[in-house]
Amino acid sequence: MRIVAFALMCMFVFASAAAVSLPVMTDKDVDVAAGWKAYRANDAERALAHYRKAADRNNRVAQFNLAIMLLAGDGTKADPAAGVEWLVKSAERGFARAQFALALLYEKGEHVVRSQESATAWFRKAAEQDHPDAQVSLATQYFLGRGAARDLKEAALWYERAAEQGDEASAYIVASLYEKGDGVAQDFSRAWYWYSRAATSGDAAAILKAREMRDKLPR
């Protein structure tokens, strides 16, 4: 369980970093595309102007980009209140990245009143759209009992969903859950499978656990 705890700590550190440095992105909308081109050319003021035009037309990608730039003070003076307002608009329009970003703000209490319950709710909205980082974060909320009652069944479900998308830390955790029968029926075959997936990058602990689980399989 020490290794599982370490994996959870690494996930928390990553999420904390992501809350302050989420990237802008492009879209087919003319102004969003022009804003992206300007942003790539280090012309943040021009990018901001294009994003604002598209955001006013309710383009959710532009709303997200505008929010991130306002929160960071990129191309303009930082305006957290306006940044959060645009982020909420994008999230409410169903943009998974905005939902994940808003969840991170609630999780940390950054520019909003800290609320683990709100963080969990927004993580779930993004996770249900197959946003892998949101799936990891939602699983961790349930694993730790933050913003929701501790629920290893829900934690296992979302860690496995994230693992299916290639998250190796989640693969290790869900393997451990299958090994112990925590939140899922004990299954050494599934544990071996997920430890093996976690071991693909050469993680020594995952390699050892995969071998251990293989030796427990019927021959």
Cα 204–chain centre separation? 25
Give a yes or no: residue 175 inside a domain.
no
Q: Is residue 208 part of a domain?
A: no
pLDDT value at 144 more than 60: yes
Distance of alpha carbon 51 from alpha carbon 29, whole angstroms: 10
**The domain containing residue 50 runs over which residues?**
12-150
Alpha-carbon gap, residue 99 to 92, rounded angstroms: 8
Which of 24-33, 127-136, 158-167, 204-213 shows the lowest mean pLDDT across its residues? 24-33
Residue 155 has pLDDT above 90, yes or no: yes
Residue with tokens 């501790």: 150
What CATH number should be reported for the domain holding residue 131? 1.25.40.10
Domain membership flag for residue 42: yes
Mean pLDDT on 170-197: 97
Residue 106, domain member (yes or no): yes
Q: What integer best gives the mean pLDDT of the chain? A: 91
Phi/psi of residue 54, each to 5°?
Answer: -70, -35
Question: Residue 20's pLDDT band (boundaries 50, 70, 90)?
Answer: very low
pLDDT at 86: 98
Q: How many CB atoms lie within 10 A of CB 125?
A: 21
Structure tokens at 29: 């909308």
Residue 4 has pLDDT above 60, yes or no: no
* Domain contains 171: no
Residue 43 inside a domain? The answer is: yes
Residue 49 in any domain: the answer is yes
Note whether 100 and 133 are within 8 A (CB): yes
Average the pLDDT over 62-86 and give the result: 95
Query: Between vectors from CA 105 to CA 100 and to CA 107, what angle results, nearest 5°?
Result: 90
Rounded to an integer, the average pLDDT of 66-85 is 95
- DSSP letters, 131-161, are -HHHHHHHHHHHHHTSSS---HHHHHHHHHH
**pLDDT score, position 11:** 53
pLDDT, greater one: 175 or 218: 175
How many Å apart are CA 20 and CA 40, to the nearest integer?
A: 19
pLDDT of 30 strictly over 70:
yes
Tokens 């029926």, residue located:
185
Please, is 158 exposed, middle or buried when counting C-beta atoms within 10 Å of its C-beta (0-12, 13-18, 19+)?
buried
Number of domains in the chain: 1
Distance CA 29, CA 14 (A): 31
pTM value is 0.89
> Is 14:100 a contact under the CB 8 Å cutoff?
no
With 90 as the cut, is the pLDDT of residue 6 above it?
Answer: no
CB 90 within 8 A of CB 51: no
Looking at residue 28, what is its pLDDT?
A: 86
